[in-house]
Structure formats: structure tokens, C-alpha cells
Chain A
């Protein structure tokens, strides 16, 4: 404890006995500098987009045309015995973490139909990006409908 601190404590003690308007003592914290880290990040530049399935707002059910498309993907995936990655996405409306869950439901819907059509579950990985990776920016129905999607990528 420095001499000065001792002095302050004395002041405080004297004040608390003598009843002068209580003096408070505050100490500013020296601004520590925050430290930075950087990450180059995962890259999926090797993979090829096989197809995109679109969804209704706040829904993860597949339309009849989507079911048809997924069946034909299943055929080509089986014949090439390729590995696929399905990415689920949402539009910007609604909360981010909830959308992450919704995006996973969309990816799972596609994955399940691929499996029903004979694609082994071991060849499928799914990931949800929620609303974090829109294909197009813009707060209107035309952008939103493009962003509510599941993307099939062949690895």
C-alpha cells in the first residue's frame, strides 16, 4: 500500500467518525489494450454447387418441385458415389440464433429425402448458416425468397 493510499484511508476513517459528508474514493482502471487474433477460415472453394432448393418463409417443408429435384440429385450422387454437403440458409427476418435452427431444419429436410432415395447418410454432411450468408442483400421479398434455401455441394 502506498503512502498516498494510507492517507486516503485515514481521510476516510476521520470522515466516518466526524460525520462529514461521506467522501468516496474511486480508482480509474488503466485502459488495457485489447488484443487481436485472426483466422484465415474454412474454404469450400473446391466444392461444386449441385443445386439449390428454395423454401417458404419460416418453413422447412419441401415443395413438390423440390422433391422432384432432390430425387434426381439422389440418382446422380449415387451413380458417382460422391460426397455431398448441404447448407441450410434463411432470409434476414427473425432472430439470428433461431434462424440458425431453422436453417438446420431445411438442410435436414433435404438430407432425409436424399437418404430415403438411397444416398447413404455417411456421404452427407449438413451445416446451417442461418441468415449469416445471404446470396443477395436487400430487404425485400425478391431477395428474401432467394436467400431461403438449401444448397447442395458436391465435395
Chain B
């Protein structure tokens, strides 16, 4: 009996303890795009119990850009173009409408979804599309459909098939650090590495298959590369002093990282094919936190060579360095936006640390967040959203903001402290 109760309790606790980072919008935009996804018609003998239109709707709504109608709010449920009465949808202030049918594919588990996207205002068909997936991975299929819809409407890639990696620290029953990877919708959250010593700085390879990160498992900082699917793990040979801040080149041939083997932290480039290091900066100040520009030609980094941490940009071919930030006495850990035109970084004002964005050409700086211990910003591969680490009631949490500052959200979790988010590149291409 006692055993049964214990088992029951354990089950309850383990379900409570599963860490799922779920996006929770705290401030949305005033005029989101209104979209109606009519329930997908299933031409299958045994249709799955999960509803595709629900997942598609919640994908589109996740960053506050879209607002979707519930089926019960719809005046009709058309199944084909000729059944659409645009007036009905205009009455409901709907901007876009999606109709679709799902049928069996060639393989037993394959599903083929034919869907059409309509512009209600202009009363016309925008796009017909076919998405193929598996019954067993209905979410992946829904993500591909919503990314297609997103890119047709916004002209930018959708991000519902992307992942986030982050560091999770638990102090009970003993201190333990986890490197975790989760789908952006909070599903499939799992630890890919754990250690009793600190873990830091996860960074995705451009092919989306590997993570480079820092682990203290040898009693000092070391750089490790891990294939997230096979688990294959390689440690780069430890150099004396700091081994930190790894970040991949767009080609995945190099890592840019920080070593202090000559007594001073400088930026180095590691060649994964030749297994060698090349020094890129040489200054008695602290040089750290490098990031590669999307075209691979430049590296942005933090240096205190002026006396306080500021952002600098280096031309990789001629090593010319230019200071980029002049406002304030603490600017650090810059990350390029995917178009390479701006960078997102940590900016201190009045003693508080905020996430800010600066235009590389004009130098215009804009503070985005109003919390006080913000750090580690990471940008979605379509450049629209930033996720960063901050504190709430002395707990490490993740939060987010759209790059235009209009939408804010948090990613609550009940599994200890979470920090250092890193957004994957696009993992599925929905090319036009």
C-alpha cells in the first residue's frame, strides 16, 4: 500500500518536475495579424487524435504576431475555395484564411497535407502548398505548415521548427549542471550533457547538428563539441588558462574562441579540419565573447582595451579593429542579427544591465528590456525575436522580446535555474 502511494506520488512529482519551457506572452502587439485555420479535413481511416489546426494556430501565435480564430468562432467551415464567403471572414476581421485536407501518403505512416492560404482583404488565393510528414511526428508536420504560412505572409522564414539549447542548474539534492535542448514550442526538452561542474556558452553549429560549449569537468574551463543526435563528444586539447566562448564560423570549418595561454585572454580561431589554433587579437586587455558575422568576414567581440568593456569589430582578412560602442561604460557579448546589419548585446545603464540593439552603420543604440540583470541574448534565425537570460525573484529565468520591442514574453519552467539560451539555425528549409 505504502509502496503504491509512493509510486503515485513519484509519478505526480515527475510529471510536475518535467521541465518544459513554454512561451507565455506578457505584452502583445495591439494589432496582430488575424488568421483562421479551418480544421483540416482528414481523408484517413484512422485520423490522429491530435488536431493539426490547433498546433498550427499555436505555432503562429507563439510570438504574438498572429491571433487565430477558434473553430467555434467561425461562421462557416469551408472545405474548398468555392465554399468561401469572403464577407463572412471580413465580418470577423480575419486577414488570412487557411483550408486544408490531409490524406494518406505512399508509405503507411506518411501524411500528405494539401493546403491553401487565402488573403481575405484581397479576396484571393495566395498559395497552394503540400506538406509531407509522418503520423508519428504530427508536430513536426504542423511546424512545417505553419512556417510555410508564416513565410508567405511575412516574407521571412518561420521559426516553429527551431530549437533552443540552454544551461540548467539544480542545487538539490546536489549541485548539478545540465546542457539541455528543446523544441521552440517546449516539446522534446532533454538533457544532452550533465556534470557536477559548471557548463557554459552553448553555441550551435551552422548545420544545426552540433553544439560547442564550455565544461569545467577537468577542473578548469575546456571547450567541447557534441553531436546532439549521436551523442559523439570531442574535447579540444586544454590550453593553459581560459578556454571559453566558442562560436562557429558560417561554414562550420572554424570555431572562434578565447584562450589565455599567453597570460591574457585573446581571440583565437580553431580550425576543425587541421586541428590547430591561430591567434586573431593580441592585446594586454581582456578580449572575449566573439561572434562571427553571417558572411564570415568579420568578428565582433568585447574588449576592455579602452578601460571598460566595449564592443569592437574585426575584419578577419586584414585584422583591422574598430570600436563600435561609445555610449555607457559596459557594453558586452554582442551577437550579429542574421542580416549582419545590427548587433544585440548587453548594455549597462544606471548600474542596471539591459539587452540593447545597435545599428552597425548608423551607430544608433536602442535599449530593449526594462529588467535589470539581463544577459546572453540570442536571436531567432529570422531576426525577429530575441531570447535572453534574466532574474526573477532571484531565480535564473529565460525571457524574450521581439527585436522591435513590441512583444514581450517569458519562458517559465519549474526545473531550477535556466540561463544562456542559444537559438538553433533554421533546421527545416521552407524555401520559396
A interface residues, Cβ below 8 angstroms from B: 2-4, 8, 11, 20-44, 92-98, 100-102, 104-105, 108, 126-130, 132-133, 137-139
> A38 and B288: CB pair below 8 A?
no
B200 and A139 contact, CB distance less than 8 A: no
CB distance B200 to A132 under 8 Å? yes
Shortest Cβ gap from B307 to chain A (Å): 11
A153 to chain B, nearest CB (A): 11
Q: Are B130 and A25 in contact (CB under 8 A)?
A: yes
The answer to whether A127 and B430 have CB atoms under 8 Å apart is no
Chain B residues with CB under 8 Å of A11's CB are 130
Contact B391 A139 (CB under 8 A): yes
Known: A30-B134, A35-B228, A104-B265. A44 touches B373 (CB 8 A): no
Q: Is the CB of B420 within 8 A of A96?
A: yes
Question: Which among B127, B140, B391 is the interface contact of A30 at CB below 8 angstroms?
Answer: B140
Is the beta-carbon distance between A27 and B333 smaller than 8 angstroms?
A: no
Question: Any chain A CB within 8 A of the CB of B106?
Answer: yes
Q: Which residue of B lies closest to A137 (CB)?
A: B394
Whose C-beta in chain B lies nearest to the C-beta of A38? B194
**Which of A29, A35, A139 is B373 in contact with, Cβ under 8 Å?**
A139
**A2 CA to B244 CA, complexed, in Å:** 47
Q: Is B425 an interface residue (CB 8 A)?
A: no
Beyond A34-B192, A36-B191, A98-B286, is A26–B131 a contact (Cβ under 8 Å)? Answer: yes
Q: Which of B357-416 contact A (CB under 8 A)?
A: 373, 375-376, 391, 394
B184 at the binding interface (Cβ < 8 Å)? no
Known: A96-B201, A128-B221. A21 touches B125 (CB 8 A): yes
Q: Which of B129, B137, B143, B200 contacts A24 (CB 8 A)?
A: B129
Does A34 lie within 8 Å of B181, measured CB to CB? yes
Q: How many A-B residue pairs have CB under 8 A?
A: 196
Complex Cα–Cα for A137 and B197 (A)? 17
Whether the pair A30, B137 counts as a contact (CB closer than 8 A) is: yes
Asked if A95 and B193 sit within 8 Å, CB to CB, the answer is no
List 22 A-B residue pairs with CB atoms under 8 Å apart, sorted by A's residue number: A22-B127, A26-B148, A27-B131, A28-B143, A33-B229, A34-B190, A36-B193, A41-B196, A97-B200, A97-B288, A97-B289, A98-B288, A98-B309, A100-B242, A101-B242, A101-B260, A108-B263, A127-B220, A127-B221, A128-B242, A132-B198, A139-B391
Across the interface, which residues of B come within 8 angstroms of A104, CB to CB?
A: 241-242, 260, 265
B133 lies within 8 A of A28 (CB): yes
Contacts of B330 in A (CB 8 A): 94
Question: Do B148 and A24 touch (CB < 8 A)?
Answer: yes
Q: How large is the interface on B (under 10, 10 to 19, 20 to 34, 35 or more residues)?
A: 35 or more
B-side contacts of A32, CB under 8 Å: 229
Residues B105 and A133 in contact, CB atoms below 8 Å apart:
no
**Identity of the chain A residue whose Cβ is nearest the Cβ of B290 in the assembled complex:** A97
| A23-B217 in contact given A36-B191, A38-B195, A94-B330 (Cβ < 8 Å) | no
Q: Which of A27, A37, A129 contacts B233 (CB 8 A)?
A: A37
CB < 8 Å neighbour of B229 from A35, A39, A92, A101: A35
B132 pairs with A34, CB closer than 8 A:
no
The distance from the CB of B283 to the nearest CB of chain A, in whole angstroms, is 12
B140-184 interface bits toward A, Cβ cutoff 8 Å, 1 = contact, 0 = none: 110111011000000000000100000000000000000001010
- B194 x A39 contact (CB < 8 A): yes
Q: Please report the C-alpha to C-alpha distance between residue A111 and residue B147 in the assembled complex, in whole angstroms.
A: 55
Q: Separation in Å of the B48 CB from the closest CB of chain A?
A: 14
**Complex Cα spacing A142 to B309, Å:** 24
Quick check: A96 and B260 within 8 Å, CB to CB?
A: no
Chain B contacts with A in 293-328, Cβ cutoff 8 A: 302, 309
| Chain A residues within 8 Å of B143, by CB | 28
Q: How far is the CB of A28 from chain B (nearest CB, A)?
A: 3
B213-266 at interface with A (beta carbon < 8 Å): 215-221, 226, 228-231, 233, 241-242, 244-245, 258, 260, 263, 265
User: A97 to B201, Cβ gap below 8 A?
Assistant: yes
Measured in the bound complex, the distance between the Cα atoms of B161 and A131 in whole Å is 33
Query: Chain A contacts of B420 at CB under 8 A?
Result: 96
Flag if B226 contacts A21 (CB, 8 Å).
no
With A25-B129, A127-B219, A128-B221 known as contacts, the answer to whether A98 contacts B333 (CB < 8 A) is: yes
Q: Establish whether residues B376 and A95, one from each chain, have CB atoms under 8 Å apart when the complex forms.
A: yes
